[in-house]
Amino acid sequence: MSTSPSIPVNPDVLRWAREESGYPTERVAVRLNVNEERVRAWEKGERQPTERQLEELAKFLRRPLGIFFLSQPPRLAPLGAEYRRLPGVTPGRESPELRIALRQMLTRRETALGLMEELGEKVEPFSLRAHLRESAAEVAARLRLAMGVDVATQLAWPNEWRAWAAWRSAAESLGLFVFLFPSVALDEVRGLAILRDPFPVVAINSKEMPEARAFTLFHELVHVLLAAGNEELPAIREQRPARAWDAVERFAESVASYVLIPEQALREALGSGVVARSWNLPEVRSLARRFRVTPLAMATRLRESGHMTWTKYDAWRHTWDEFVSTLRPRRGGFATRGEKAVNRAGRPFAALVLEALAANRITSVDAARFLNLKFEHFEKLGDRLREDALGAGLGE
């Protein structure tokens, strides 16, 4: 039994902090190496944690220590009011890992807007729109034109990491943030969109393989465009039945495939003999490598242009899923801490932090906190940001 003195915290706040973070009492008990009954007793006010236990609890729940001494729990807007509807994710029941990632991204966006105001930089509203009545090819062409990426440039990219870095930079130029988020299972979320204006957020699970990230990026970006066009609402307010929502998802999927593989480029790549092709796994993989996309994205594109029937697509998708299940996760090259900071936060955010630091608008402590990076690595971070924006990226 511990002889350390207990700390008189507010049990209501303690319970709120755990529930708002999405953790059951069991996980808290395991992390703090106490039994579950002890945690319940804390939350009822029957017992109090020790100073060390409270510090560990604050660290685990990602909360400042002082919050546990408030007279009442803080009021926070529900996360479901921020992000777009996600398949399989019920607002309010997100995993703890996803909730942490969402809070971090929202904080990063607010930080960026605050820094832009401090630096006197003009913040423009997000101007791109999309409507479900439009054709997927039409929306994709408009989006690709806005990014200024031509097919010849795309086909010249030497590898999937270069392709991802280029697509990300092009998307960021539209007036949004593109973040990577770690620690969330791929089967929960591959990507998401935070439907704010200005500077909406598109976020990609860092576990996503590089050639799949661009498809996820544009899929999520379409949801941003639909929200900007008053065609979509945040998750907690989205009331479409499942079948109607599936149509929205298919639209986003279709637009993403047209962005990555325009119709004329596909025709040129296919050449003659399209009818004779069986579209087996090797054929689709070979065609996908040309455009630096996943075979699944290519199969989706072939289906959209009528080169693959829905029946054939469903059979092919089953074969692809079986193949993917046999693969081991791939990792990119070695990335320094500074490179990881840029990979997760994006170049615009990292550059904004360094600009504010150079202008004495924030301290080195602030900058380190904003980028989750020790100040000793900032010199290399600056070197990384001075590289060509379309240089080869490293995975994490």
Token couple for 234: 């945040």
Are the beta carbons of 24 and 60 closer than 8 angstroms? no
Domain range summary for the chain, segments of one domain joined by +: 11-69, 77-260, 262-324
Q: Where are the alpha helices (DSSP H) in the chain?
A: 11-21, 25-32, 36-44, 51-61, 96-118, 136-147, 151-156, 160-172, 210-228, 242-260, 263-270, 281-291, 295-304, 310-325, 337-345, 347-358, 364-371, 378-386
**String of DSSP letters for 137-187:** HHHHHHHHHHHT--HHHHHH--SHHHHHHHHHHHHHTTT-EEEEE-SS-TT
**String of DSSP letters for 335-357:** --HHHHHHHHH-HHHHHHHHHHH
pLDDT at 276 (0 to 100): 55
Q: Walk along the chain (396 residues) and give the pLDDT tens digit of each residue.
A: 455 788 899 999 999 999 999 999 999 999 999 999 999 999 999 999 999 999 999 999 999 999 999 999 999 889 999 999 999 999 999 999 999 999 999 999 999 999 999 999 999 999 999 999 999 999 999 999 999 999 999 999 999 999 999 999 999 999 999 999 999 999 999 999 999 999 999 999 999 998 899 999 999 999 999 999 999 999 999 999 999 999 999 999 999 999 999 999 999 999 865 555 789 999 999 999 999 999 999 999 999 999 999 999 999 999 998 888 887 655 555 677 888 888 999 999 999 999 999 999 999 999 999 999 998 888 888 877 877 444 544 445
pLDDT at 162 (0 to 100): 92
pLDDT at 336 (0 to 100): 79
11-69 fold: 434 Repressor (Amino-terminal Domain) (1.10.260)
Torsion of CA 84, 177, 94, 85, to 10 degrees: 10
State the Cα–Cα distance between residues 357 and 178, nearest whole angstrom: 22
Nearest to 136 by CA among 10, 263, 43: 263
Are the beta carbons of 175 and 124 closer than 8 angstroms? yes
pLDDT at 275 (0 to 100): 53
